[in-house]
Chains A and B, each alone.
Chain A
Amino acid sequence: MVLEILDILISGLLNGGIFALIAVGLSMQYGVARVLNVAHGEFIMLGAFFTWTLYTMLKVNPLVSLVICGPIVFVIGYFLHKTLYRRIRLSSESQGAFEGNSMLASFGLLFIIQNLAILRWGSGIKGYSYLNFPVNLGGAMFAANRLVTLLFAVAICIIFYLFLTRTRLGKAIRAAAQDPDAAGLMGVNINQVLALCFGLGALMAGLAGSLLSMSFRVQPTMGLEYTVIAIIVIVLGGLGSIPGSFIGGFILGLVGSIVSHFEPGLSLVAYYVLFMILLLVKPTGILGR
């Protein structure tokens, strides 16, 4: 009994770490840049595939490829905002129209990235084995790579939080999150900051993908599931709240591991039910404004 609870708790935390990381990324994109990026999961997939390619072709350690994949997806995200979303932002008449159009554009992006990936890597499932030995945690057994994933995910979130709260650029981002127009008037280069936020969101997704590829299988269609989870988490945590997304990730991870302990087929259903109840009862989320 105690062992079972421990098992549920730890696997919840292990899932929660990665959920938190991808949700913090989406939170930057939707909370600050106001782009509900439904292609978020595709950046995760890209990160995972880059890591897989580096590992199988050049034997690059997956933890080393974090510092290679991260910047690549960051640059992709940054220029996507500079070109695509900036244009939509300028041509949309209202905030609502921008959010609608940018969401639809990111659906287009989802299809583009996903199918390019299928054309490049094929639609099959890929995987490799790294740090794949069991670790005993008080009687519950877990693969070492999942623990490493959790550790890195939490560390990246904390570093990012410190960047947001302690640096000048972080201050500019927080100002843009509160009111982009006012921040612009205060001398923040708003286009630059929004593109940076979008790029940072993609960076988180890419890092999450690299970490995920160590313990889960990789395939071009893996993205959407993570996108949906990230959307649920940012609503759960409160839109635009980074700590909210972080905590929300762990809450959803625990919910998932509890449900799948009793009925493995229903964990996604449980996420959606939780999400729908949340939208109806408290759409502002646990730490929302």
Chain B
Amino acid sequence: MNRVALTSKKFLLPGLMIIALILLVTSPSYISAYKVMLLTSILMYIVVSVSWAIFSGPTGYISLASAAFFGVGIYTAAILGRILPLTYVIIIGGLVSVVLALIVGVITLRLKGMYFAIFTFGLVELLKHFLLWWEINITGTRGRFVISVHSETVFYVMIIIFVAVLLTAYLIKHSKYGLALQSIGEYEEAAEHIGINVTMVKIATFAISSFFIGSAGAIIATRWTYVDPYIAFNPIFSFMPVLMSIFGGLGQLFGPVLGAAFFAYLEESLITKFPYHYMLIFGIILVVAILYLPDGLIGLAKKWKKGSLSSGLVELLQKRQKGRKEV
């Protein structure tokens, strides 16, 4: 690779991302098995958060259904893991989530604002309690064992889902659908009037975003080896993506990534020793983020950058804007 291409701004970011990806893919050969597990968790939270942000970020509809899609993926792995090869299990886990998302999408068409959030949260609890009842009374068990897979396989599958979700999020954001979603979030009626098929766009995006959560659930279940409805449909998986995305910053693709990485690391380092302190900190950060970080960490970084520039360095700012226009 020549130097000009690397130093030019256009190639810098993709280049860095490819290097990061290569480092990530080769990491099992030089970091400990524990670190690989930690990276897998971080990737899982990133997948769930970015998927959540694909739909809820631009539209402003707060979906609390993530735990439902995640749980559906987990149970797909628990039921089909013994009969089908891993690849099929993961794809089916995603597809079952898509079907669930489509059903939810169709029946919640008329619900706006808070009702959508409450409905999707109710869905998680409904599935959990129904499944619990079903398992105890019909199948006669409480939990299920999931066939386990080598932790490096889990890691590589998670990387594939991670890359897929980032690419999807990027493509949606930079397509006309991204604009349509944005306009739905800003003024739904107006979006409808300028000819956007609001219903279609909403349902399709919701379904696409659910695919990745379902498949992430299907692969992570192989690491947990034992699941029951309370583990699989833990409502924390509905709140985590919301908090991680808000904390990181919703406007940018990297906001949810940053937030997810932060919390996944925090969880890993605190939850075994101080589980209740972790949840307490989780709650405090959620409140503080809503109060003081409306645009998340990314927004904070931008504000800070802007603030230091405007304090007397107007010239530099103008120069930069000029430069940006020329690029």
Contacts and interface: CB of A to CB of B under 8 A. Distances in A.
B133 A272 contact: no
B290 A105 contact: yes
Interface string B103-115: 0000110110111
Contacts of A105: 286-287, 290-291
A270 to B, nearest CB: 9
Interface residues on B, range: 35 or more
Contacts of A99: 113-114
A110 B118 CA distance: 16
A111 B126 contact: no
A241 B283 CA distance: 31
Given A107-B239, A283-B111, A119 B291 contact: no
A77 to B, nearest CB: 15
A269 B279 contact: no
Interface string B212-230: 0000000000000000000
Contacts of B107: 276, 280
A283 B239 CA distance: 25
Contacts, number: 111
Contacts of B243: 104, 108
B279 A114 contact: yes
Nearest to A83: B291
Contact of A231 (B113, B118, B136, B287): B118
A104 B119 contact: no
A116 interface: yes
Nearest to A119: B276
A108 B283 contact: yes
A266 B280 CA distance: 32
B62 A100 contact: yes
A228 to B, nearest CB: 7
Interface in A271-289: 272-273, 275-276, 279-280, 283
Contact of B111 (A115, A269, A279): A279
Interface in B254-298: 276-277, 279-280, 282-287, 290-291, 294
A91 B62 CA distance: 19
Given A99-B113, A105-B291, A107-B239, A272 B283 contact: no
A187 interface: no
B279 A272 contact: no
B130 A111 contact: no
A84 interface: yes
B60 interface: yes
Interface in B100-139: 107-108, 110-111, 113-115, 117-119, 122-123, 125-126, 129-130, 132-133, 136-137
B4 to A, nearest CB: 45
The binding surface of chain A is classed by DSSP as helix
B291 A112 contact: no
B294 A104 contact: no
Nearest to A225: B125
A88 B246 CA distance: 15
Interface in B201-250: 235, 239, 242-243, 246
Contacts of A268: 125, 129
Contacts of B287: 84, 105, 108-109, 112
Nearest to A283: B115
Contact of B137 (A119, A265, A276): A265
A272 B280 contact: no
Given A88-B290, A119-B280, A272 B126 contact: yes
17 contacts: A88-B291, A96-B60, A96-B113, A97-B60, A100-B113, A103-B114, A105-B286, A105-B291, A108-B284, A108-B286, A111-B286, A266-B130, A269-B129, A273-B126, A276-B126, A280-B107, A280-B110
Given A107-B242, A115-B280, 4 more contacts: A104-B242, A111-B282, A268-B129, A275-B122
Which 9 A-B pairs have CB atoms at the shortest separation, nearest pair first? Answer: A111-B283, A108-B286, A112-B283, A108-B287, A272-B126, A115-B280, A265-B133, A108-B283, A115-B279
